[in-house]
């Protein structure tokens, strides 16, 4: 199963994931530059990404994730998520994720 990260220079990196990994874990494994300062505790907002497709297949955003997104830059309604909170499942094979500008 694969996820595509679209980097700030618009290059695309297709990487594989296993069921149950978070988007942040997959990014870190593949040296995708997402900086989660709180290491997945859903506080810092630094792992903010923009979801480009399959949004309806993602787990619902929690109140805590919503609060942490207040600390992120360039938030886009209905696209912004925190990579540490997105648990990947087979349904999310083919997910496309954009790294936001302005960080
Ligand atoms: S790593 Fe800090 S909110 Fe995701």
DSSP symbol at 10 = S
Q: Is residue 22 part of a domain?
A: yes
Closest C-alpha to 20, from 97, 83, 90? 90
Q: Is residue 103 part of a domain?
A: no
Q: Which atom of ligand 1 is nearest to the CA of 43?
A: 3
Q: Given this model, what pLDDT does residue 99 score?
A: 95
Q: How many domains does the chain have?
A: 1
Q: Given this model, what pLDDT does residue 101 score?
A: 73
Residues 33-57 pLDDT 10s: 998 899 999 999 999 999 999 989 9
How, if at all, do strands 2-6 and 95-98 pair? parallel
The mean per-residue pLDDT over the stretch 77-87 comes to 95
Q: What mean pLDDT, rounded, does the chain reach?
A: 94
Q: What tokens appear for 34 in the block?
A: 């997402």
CATH number at residue 27: 3.10.20.30
**φ/ψ of residue 81, rounded to 5:** -145, 165
Q: Given this model, what pLDDT does residue 18 score?
A: 98
Q: Which atom of ligand 1 is nearest to the CA of 82?
A: 4
| pTM of the full structure | 0.94
Residue whose CA lies nearest to ligand 1 atom number 1: 36
Range 16-19 contact pairs with CB under 8 angstroms and sequence separation of 24 or more: 17/88, 18/88, 19/88, 19/89, 19/90
Q: Is residue 72 part of a domain?
A: yes
Instruction: Decide: 43 in ligand 1 pocket, CB within 6 A.
Output: yes
Ligand 1 midpoint to CA 43 (Å): 6
């Amino acid at each position: 199963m694969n996820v595509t990260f679209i980097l700030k220079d618009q290059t695309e990196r297709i990487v594989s994931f296993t069921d149950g990994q978070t988007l942040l874990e997959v990014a870190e494994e593949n040296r995708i530059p997402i900086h989660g300062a709180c290491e997945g505790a859903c506080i810092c907002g630094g792992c903010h990404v923009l979801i480009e497709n399959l949004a309806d297949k993602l787990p619902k955003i929690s109140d805590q994730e919503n609060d942490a997104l207040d600390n992120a830059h360039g938030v886009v309604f209905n696209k912004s998520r925190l990579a540490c909170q997105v648990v990947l499942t087979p349904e999310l094979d083919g997910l496309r994720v954009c790294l936001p500008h302005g960080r």
